[in-house]
Amino acid sequence: APEPVAPPSNPEGAAAVIAEPVMPRAMVSTGTDYTMDGLPAQVITLLADAGMSDGSAVATAMTASPSPTAMPGVGLASSPEALADCMKRLGLAPGSVPLVLDTATIDGREGSVIVTASQLDLAGQPASLHVVAVGQACTDDDVVAARHWDLPLR
């Protein structure tokens, strides 16, 4: 199983940039109790259930229009602005497309799993995904405790 990775570096001055609101391509509330040990395999199942099991499906999702529905969740899942702010504070690159946002539990605590495409191949197709497990409120403590993984796409 992939080991957690360090969060992406956040360049100096990035905190002053206002994050553009973002809508996830798929927003679900699976009720999954993600565990740190099992999360990579659990995310593969999540992606398959969302119809994003391979690179071409992820590429299609990246260019699709996000669902125009409101975000009915709480914390980072309460609005496109809240999600964008949380992603920025987690160090995710500006312009990152949230492919899937799953409101669930992480080691028994309320949280969300955010899946973005992290690397593109030479043809511009997604080569790997970046997954973050973070507390639902996305407080400063949640951001510090967040766990990051890079998962290769098949």
135 Cβ partners below 8 Å, 6+ apart? 75, 106, 109, 110, 111, 141, 142, 145, 146
Q: Is the pLDDT of residue 72 over 60?
A: yes
Mean pLDDT of 8-36: 71
What is the per-residue pLDDT for 57? 86
**For the residues of 54-121, what is the DSSP string, one character each?**
SHHHHHHHHHSPPP-S----SGGGS-HHHHHHHHHHTTPPTT--EEEEEEEEETTEEEEEEEEEEEE-
Taking 60 as the threshold, does the pLDDT of residue 70 lie above it?
yes
Contacts of 76 (CB under 8 A, 6+ apart): 82, 83, 85, 86, 112, 114, 134, 136, 137, 138
Q: How far apart are CA 100 and CA 109, in angstroms?
A: 19
Compute the mean pLDDT over every residue in the chain, rounded to the nearest whole number: 83
Q: Tokens for 123?
A: 């043809």
Residue 61 has pLDDT above 60, yes or no: yes
- Of 28, 36, 27, 31, the closest CA to residue 4 belongs to 36
Give the pLDDT score at 4. 66
- 3-state secondary structure (DSSP) of residue 25: coil
Identify the pLDDT of residue 44. 92
pTM, 2 dp: 0.83
